[in-house]
């Protein structure tokens, strides 16, 4: 029946399907459940199917209900009656749970690598910026001057957390379901530990009912993609804002922007806008699949088949968004003069003036009020804080002296923030070096996590 057929969706994880089948049949032979010679014949047949799929694609128009039925049919054509051993001591329930866990592990590793690419792009651009000053914003208003590199590294930190969640997701999907059967286990003397080692799982299941019912690993993958999309949307939104004419702080590369169908002067940030928009879709997928799981009785129900579309969409959008933002960040042109100009707006030196008074023994609440009153008066006069002289400063508090005037320089404010993780150049350089070192070791972890499927 076409409505219940899932072959079109299943075809995407054919490698994992065949890898699980190979490991399972190998185990049957090793345990003496199947004659070792027949086991070898079936394994050879499965690898032949894998080679054919790799060369010609998965035939989805043969009337097979799902990937399991397709493999069983093709295996029967290849090796004859011995193909029937494939179904010994396993069910489609534990088979699909195992194969799809492997697929989610591979997708997670791909997202991990792509997140690291964007992390390195942000760190690389940060390392190029030197002492370029940018506005540090709160409530989308200028708060304090910071280094542009510091701001880029803040976005890199979000990507670092995505990478950590990828590692967590791999561990969550590292429990082998195979051996659970339909849901009660099997009477055959199987060796799930062998299958786990063969496929790269870290442990076997504790409970056969849970093993086939569990789709927490799918939810966690969707959470990973959702949070990655949200973090990407924050970066994308800032690029949209900074590229707008009122800000004019960045120039979009032509390949990552489009023109208008009617306004010849337009250069629209379409790539960033799409990345921003797809965050909503990612959140919807997560909520939707959790709604599918809500109140679902144990153990297996065909509702679980809906996990495929949710994962595929999340995987595709997340990888595309990471790739697009990596290219955009790598090619974005920052207008350092305009960034410095914006950073000086909004009386951004006010905090440093208040801190100066505190250093003279003035309680912070009094210093805060005095400088706040000065800023308000300057706004009424249409003046900027940078225009004040010592006489004006001393009119609000006699503790001000000549040294206070240097606090009006955004560069001084940046250099003064030497606390760990702060925006001072010495701290930012250390952050760049640390991030570069972390990326190198993280790349090794990604390589070590790549799946090694027994299909050769």
Q: Would residue 261 show up in a list of annotated catalytic residues for this protein?
A: no
Tokens of 270: 């379409």
Q: Are 370 and 358 in contact (CB under 8 A)?
A: no
What whole-number distance in Å separates Cα of residue 287 and Cα of residue 192? Answer: 34
Locus of tokens 């690598």: 113
Residue 172 falls in the annotated catalytic set: no
Peptide bond into 299 cis (omega under 30): yes
- Checking 63-68 for CB contacts under 8 A at 24+ apart, the result is 64/5, 64/7, 65/4, 65/5, 65/6, 65/7, 66/5, 66/6, 66/7, 66/10, 66/92, 67/6, 67/7, 67/10, 67/11, 67/13, 67/14, 67/17, 67/99, 68/10, 68/17, 68/92, 68/95, 68/96
**Contact partners, residue 285, CB within 8 Å, separation at least 6:** 222, 225, 226, 310, 313, 314
Distance, in Å, from the CA atom of 310 to the CA atom of 282, rounded to the nearest integer, reads 9
From CA 415, how far away is CA 426, in angstroms rounded? 8
- Which strand (E) or helix (H) includes residue 146? strand 141-147
Q: How far is CA 230 from each of CA 160, 237, 257, 413, 439, rounded to the nearest angstrom? A: 14, 10, 21, 31, 22
256 φ/ψ angles, rounded to the nearest 5 degrees: -115, 25
Query: Active site residue: 68, 85, 115, 139, which one?
Result: 139
C-alpha distances in angstroms, 261 versus 244, 265, 266?
A: 18, 10, 9
Q: Which one of 151, 155, 226, 260 is the catalytic residue?
A: 260
How would DSSP label each residue in 75-91?
HHHHHGGGGGGGGTT--
Q: Are 30 and 22 in contact (CB under 8 A)?
A: no
Give the residue among 389, 385, 383, 424 at the shortest CA–CA distance from 405.
Answer: 389
Residue 400: partners with Cβ closer than 8 Å, 6 or more residues away = 353, 356, 357, 390, 393, 394
Residues 6 or more apart whose Cβ sits within 8 Å of residue 32: none
Residue 399: C-alpha distances to residues 347, 366, 389 (Å): 20, 12, 14
Catalytic residues: 139, 260
């Amino acid at each position: 029946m076409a409505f219940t057929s899932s072959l079109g969706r299943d075809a995407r994880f054919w490698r994992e399907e065949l890898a699980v089948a190979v490991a399972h049949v190998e185990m049957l032979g090793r345990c003496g459940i199947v004659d070792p010679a027949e086991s070898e014949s079936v394994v050879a047949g499965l690898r032949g199917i894998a080679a054919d799929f790799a060369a010609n694609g998965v035939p989805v128009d043969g009337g097979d209900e799902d990937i399991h039925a397709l493999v069983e049919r093709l295996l029967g054509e290849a090796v004859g009656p011995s193909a029937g051993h494939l179904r010994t001591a396993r069910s489609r329930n534990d088979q699909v749970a195992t194969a799809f866990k492997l697929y989610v592990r591979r997708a997670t590793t791909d997202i991990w690598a792509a997140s690291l690419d964007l992390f390195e792009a942000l760190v690389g651009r940060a390392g190029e910026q030197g002492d370029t000053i940018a506005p540090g914003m709160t409530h989308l208003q200028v708060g304090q001057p910071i280094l542009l590199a510091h701001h880029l590294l803040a976005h890199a930190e979000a990507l670092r957390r995505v990478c950590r969640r990828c590692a967590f997701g791999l561990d969550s999907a590292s429990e082998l379901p195979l051996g659970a059967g339909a849901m009660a286990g099997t009477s055959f003397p199987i060796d799930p530990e062998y299958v786990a080692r063969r496929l790269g799982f870290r442990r076997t299941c504790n409970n056969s009912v849970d093993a086939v019912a569990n789709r927490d690993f799918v939810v966690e993958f969707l959470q990973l993609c959702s949070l990655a999309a949200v973090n990407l949307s924050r970066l994308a939104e800032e690029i949209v804002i900074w590229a707008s004419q009122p800000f004019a702080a960045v120039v979009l590369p032509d390949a990552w922007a489009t023109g208008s169908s009617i306004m010849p002067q337009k250069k629209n940030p379409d790539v960033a806008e799409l990345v921003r928009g797809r965050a909503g879709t990612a959140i919807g997928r997560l909520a939707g699949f959790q709604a599918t799981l809500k109140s679902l009785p144990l153990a297996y129900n065909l509702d679980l088949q809906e996990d495929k579309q949710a994962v595929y969409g999340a995987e595709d959008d997340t990888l595309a968004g990471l790739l697009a933002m990596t290219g955009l960040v790598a090619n974005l042109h920052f207008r350092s003069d305009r960034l410095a100009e914006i950073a000086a707006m909004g009386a951004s030196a006010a905090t440093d003036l208040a801190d100066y008074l505190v250093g003279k023994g003035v309680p912070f609440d009094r210093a805060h009020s005095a400088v706040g009153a000065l800023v308000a008066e300057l706004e009424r006069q249409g003046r900027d804080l940078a225009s004040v002289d010592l006489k004006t400063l001393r009119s609000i508090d006699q503790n001000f002296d000549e040294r206070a005037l240097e606090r009006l320089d955004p560069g001084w404010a940046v250099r003064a923030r030497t606390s760990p993780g702060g925006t001072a150049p010495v701290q930012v350089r250390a952050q760049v070096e640390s991030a570069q070192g972390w990326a190198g070791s993280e790349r090794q972890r990604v390589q070590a996590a790549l799946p090694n499927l027994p299909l050769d």
